[in-house]
Amino acid sequence: MNTVLTMAMPKGRIFEEAVDLLRQAGYPLPPEFEESRKLIIDAPEAGLRFILAKPMDVPTYVEHGVADIGIAGKDVMLEEERDVYEVLDLKISACYLAVAGLPGGNYQKVAPKIASKYPNVASHYFREQGQQVEVIKLNGSIELAPLIGLADRIVDIVSTGRTLKENGLVELEKIADITSRLIVNPASYRLHAMRINELVERMRKLVENKGDVQ
Ligand code: PRP
């Protein structure tokens, strides 16, 4: 009998693109997949079971082995530094991490406050720049922080740039390009090498072919 692989899927903005990619790679997913509120969804015809998780938690499920594989943004991988294999750049949900702030802000300040959903990424970035900062962890709506005086700058995802623009903020420095990655639990990779390699190769072909037509 074929092994059923458990895949951790990020709810939210990556979800639809990830589902599309899996279908295009030839994995039949139930039609109600997108509408369901279920957190565990079986796709027996695809030989897959999905767990739907908060994007930031996907590497945690995979590291602990309750999911064999997962789809996670590079932003989350950089922040979480989990012990998982990053096997393929899926080249979906492209965006980037950047430092932003108010135009004309006092950027010479000693130990400025930096608000971010990515405290580790932010600390690491400013340490590398040799700049001392105080990082304030927020869970969302990061752009609020400089507007109401909680922070001097933010470190956040920029996709279309609309959120920065509509809140009167400007991008100051780009930190890293971000796309979604296919990740694998190391022990699962050894146990289910054939199934996992098949999935990785199908996805790889799809991603490479898409690259060709762009
Ligand atoms: C993300 C990010 C920015 C916004 C960027 O937030 O944190 O706020 O999207 O996108 P844009 O450049 O296309 O405007 P998200 O919508 O995930 O919600 P959050 O504020 O709760 O993190």
Position in ligand 1 atom list of the atom nearest CA 117:
22
Test site for ligand 1: of 163, 171, 174, 180, most ligand atoms within 8 A of the Cβ:
163
Judge if 185 and 83 occupy the same domain: yes
CA distance 192 to 69: 11
Q: Is 151 exposed, middle or buried (0-12, 13-18, 19+ CB in 10 A)?
A: buried
Which domain, by its residues, includes 27?
5-93+179-213
CATH number for position 130: 3.40.190.10
Read off the pLDDT of residues 103-149 as tens digits, 9 standing for 90 and up: 988 788 899 999 999 999 999 999 999 999 999 999 999 999 999 99
pLDDT mean over 87-102: 98
The SS3 assignment for 98 reads strand
Judge if 58 and 117 occupy the same domain: no
Judge if 86 and 183 occupy the same domain: yes
Position in ligand 1 atom list of the atom nearest CA 12:
17
Specify whether the CB–CB gap between 112 and 134 falls below 8 A. Answer: yes
**Ligand 1 centroid vs 13 CA: distance in angstroms?**
9
In whole angstroms, what separates CA 41 from the centre of its chain?
A: 21
Judge if 102 and 56 occupy the same domain: no
pLDDT at position 36 is 87
Structural domain total, the chain? 2
Judge if 81 and 116 occupy the same domain: no
Judge if 23 and 128 occupy the same domain: no
Read off the pLDDT of residues 169-194 as tens digits, 9 standing for 90 and up: 999 999 999 999 999 999 999 999 99
Judge if 138 and 198 occupy the same domain: no
CA distance 11 to 34: 10
pLDDT mean over 10-39: 91
Question: Which band of pLDDT confidence, cut at 50, 70 and 90, is reported for residue 38?
Answer: very high
CA distance 193 to 17: 25
pLDDT mean over 18-31: 93
Of the candidates 111, 92, 113, 91, the residue with the CA atom closest to the CA atom of residue 102: 113
Ligand 1 shell residues, CB under 6 Å: 13, 117, 140-143, 156-163
Judge if 16 and 85 occupy the same domain: yes
Judge if 109 and 141 occupy the same domain: yes
The pLDDT of residue 212 is above 90? no
Specify whether the CB–CB gap between 203 and 88 falls below 8 A. Answer: yes
Range with the poorest average pLDDT among 22-26, 56-60, 104-108: 104-108
The pLDDT of residue 1 is above 60? no
The pLDDT of residue 167 is above 90? yes
